[in-house]
Structure 1
Amino acid sequence: MTFIIAVHVNEGIVLASDRRTTYSRYITHDSTIENYVGIHVTNSTDKTFLCPNGAGISICGDASFLNKPITGFIQDMIRTKIKSETKVSDIPQTIIDYFKESDTPNTTFLIAGYSSEQQLIYKLNLSTNEVASIDTSAPGAVWDGEVSTLTRLIQPLAIKSDSGIYQDLPNEEILWNYFTLQDAVDFARFAVETTIQTMRFKNVIETVGGAVDILVITPDATKWLQKESLH
C-alpha cells in the first residue's frame, strides 16, 4: 500500500506521497495457499509523477504490473501518451486506455492540475475504471491508501465509558479556508510523515515509509518541493 494526498487551496495544489513498496509472496502447498506479507521492501518507489502539461499524478495500491514495478509503466505512459497540450481532464481516460490490454492492477490514481485557472482533481480506481471528480470549489484535501491514521486524527471521535455511554470529544475542525499554499505543503508533509511514524510503533506491516515526495502545482508552474533522486 502507501499513502497519497492532494491538498487544494486557493493558491494551488500539493501532491505528496511516501516511497515504500511492500511485496508479498504466495506459495501453494497442496491445496493450502500461504501468504508471506512484506517479504520484500523497498524505499525507492516513485509514487508521485510530473506530467509535461503541468499536471501531477500520485498512485497507491498495487505496485507491480506484469511482475514488474508499475512505476516504469507509468513513466512510459507519461512519456508517450501525455503531451504538453494534453488536457488534465483527458488523463484519467489516457491511463485507462494504456492499461486496458492486460489484467489491470488494483491501483488508485490521484490526478491534479489546472484547466485555465480552474483546479481539477480526479480519483481513478484502475481495477474498476471508476473516475470521480473531486469538488475543488472550496479548499480541502483528498487522500487514499493507508488512511486510518489521518482519518482518526481529523474525524469526530467519542470515548466509550465503562457504563457503555459514549462521550463526544471536541470536534476541532481544520480551517481549510484559511490555508495558504505553505500551509497546504505543511499539512501534506505532516499527513505522510505522521502516517509513517504511527505505523512504526503499531503492530502492523509498515507499508508506508521512506522519504516524502512533494509536488506543488499552481496556475503558473509545477515544481518539485521535495523529490528523492538517484545517488
Structure 2
Amino acid sequence: MTIAIALKINDGIVLATDSASTIIGEEIEDGVRPVHHTYFTADKLFNLKKGSRIGAMTWGNGSINDESISTLVKDFRKGSEKKEYGTVEAIVDDFKSFLENKITPETSLGFLIAGYSNGEGHPEMFLIKINNGNIEDPMPINADDPLSISWFGETSFLTRLLLGFDERLFEIFEDNGVDSETINNIFSDCREKLQLPLGVPAMPIKDAIDLVRFLADISVNSSKFVPGAQVIGGPIDIAVITKHEGFKWIQRKHYYDKDLNLTTTMEDE
C-alpha cells in the first residue's frame, strides 16, 4: 500500500510518498489474501527527466514483470535523455506510450506527473490510471485551482481528516436503504461543510513542505496503530518543483551510504 500526496500552491508543487511495499499472500478463503510481508524501503517518487522541472509519484503495483516501478521509471528516464519536451503533457504522453509496452493484464497502478511547461508560470498535474492492464488517457487535475491537496493509495485516513467523513459512508447509506440521489446530496453537503481548510495558495514553499510532511506522518502513524498489518510506513520521501529552482529533493532515503560512493552523482540516482 501507499500514501502519495501532492500539494499545489502558487509557487509550486510539493510531492511526498511513503516507502511501504506490501507482499500479498495466497488466497486462504472467501477471496481473502492476507499480507505476507511489508517492506519499508520502496521508491515511489522520481524526477521523471533529469534537469527538468517534472516529477512523478506512483501507487498500486510495485512491479511489472518482475521489474520494480523504480527501475522502469529509470529506464524511461534513460531512454528520454536526448529528447526535448516543451510541455508537461508531452512527457506525460511519452510516458504513457512507454507504459503501454510494459504493462500486463494484472497491472493496476497510478501515476501523478507534475511540473512546469516551458514558458509557463503555473504548475500542472496529470493523472495516469491503469486498471487490470487497461491504461486510461492522461487526465489533467485541479488545473484551475490555485490551492489543491490530492492524495492517492490508502486514502482513508486523510479522507477522514480533510473531508470530514469516511469513504465507507456511501456503502452504509446504501445498506440502510437511502437512495442514490439523497446520498449524493449528503456527500455534497459534507464536502462543503466538513472539509478542513488547510493552507492558502500564497503560502510559502517551506510551509507547504511542513504541511505535506504533517499529512504523510498522520497516514504513517494511523496505519501503524490501527489493527492489522501496517501498510503505510517507512521513510517519507519529499520533493518540491518550482518555476526557477526546478525539481529539488527535500528528504530522500538511499539504500547505500553516499559517503562510501563518492563517485555517484545526482545524474546516476
> RMSD of the TM alignment (CA)?
2.5
Q: What is the CA–CA distance in structure 2 between the aligned matches of 1:135 and 1:123, rounded to whole Å?
A: 10
Q: What is the CA–CA distance in structure 1 between the aligned matches of 2:255 and 2:140, rounded to whole Å?
A: 34
Q: What is the CA–CA distance in structure 2 between the aligned matches of 1:212 and 1:84, rounded to whole Å?
A: 31
1 or 2, which has the higher strand percentage? 1
User: How do 1:75-224 and structure 2 match up within 5 A?
Assistant: 75-81=74-80, 85-86=84-85, 87-101=87-101, 102-103=103-104, 105-115=107-117, 116=119, 117-127=121-131, 128-137=135-144, 138-157=146-165, 172-221=196-245, 222-224=247-249
2:2–2:153 CA contact under 8 A, matched in 1: yes
- Shift of the 103–82 alpha-carbon distance from structure 1 to 2, 3 Å rule, reads farther
1 or 2, which has the higher helix percentage? 2
Q: What is the CA–CA distance in structure 2 between the aligned matches of 1:82 and 1:197, rounded to whole Å?
A: 39
Partner of 1:41: 38
What percent of counterpart residues are identical? 26
Matched, 1:230 2:255: yes
1:122–1:131 CA contact under 8 A, matched in 2: yes
Q: CA deviation at 1:226?
A: 0.3
2:10–2:122 CA contact under 8 A, matched in 1: no
**Runs ≥4 residues deviating over 6 A:** none
> What is the TM-score when the length of structure 1 is the normalising length?
0.85
Q: CA deviation at 1:34?
A: 6.7
2:61–2:108 CA contact under 8 A, matched in 1: yes
Q: CA deviation at 1:35?
A: 5.3
> What is the TM-score when the length of structure 2 is the normalising length?
0.74
- Shift of the 150–199 alpha-carbon distance from structure 1 to 2, 3 Å rule, reads same
Q: What is the CA–CA distance in structure 2 between the aligned matches of 1:195 and 1:27, rounded to whole Å?
A: 27
* Residue segments in structure 2 that go unaligned for 5+ positions in a row: 167-189, 257-269
Count the aligned residue pairs: 220
Letter in 2 for 1:143: W
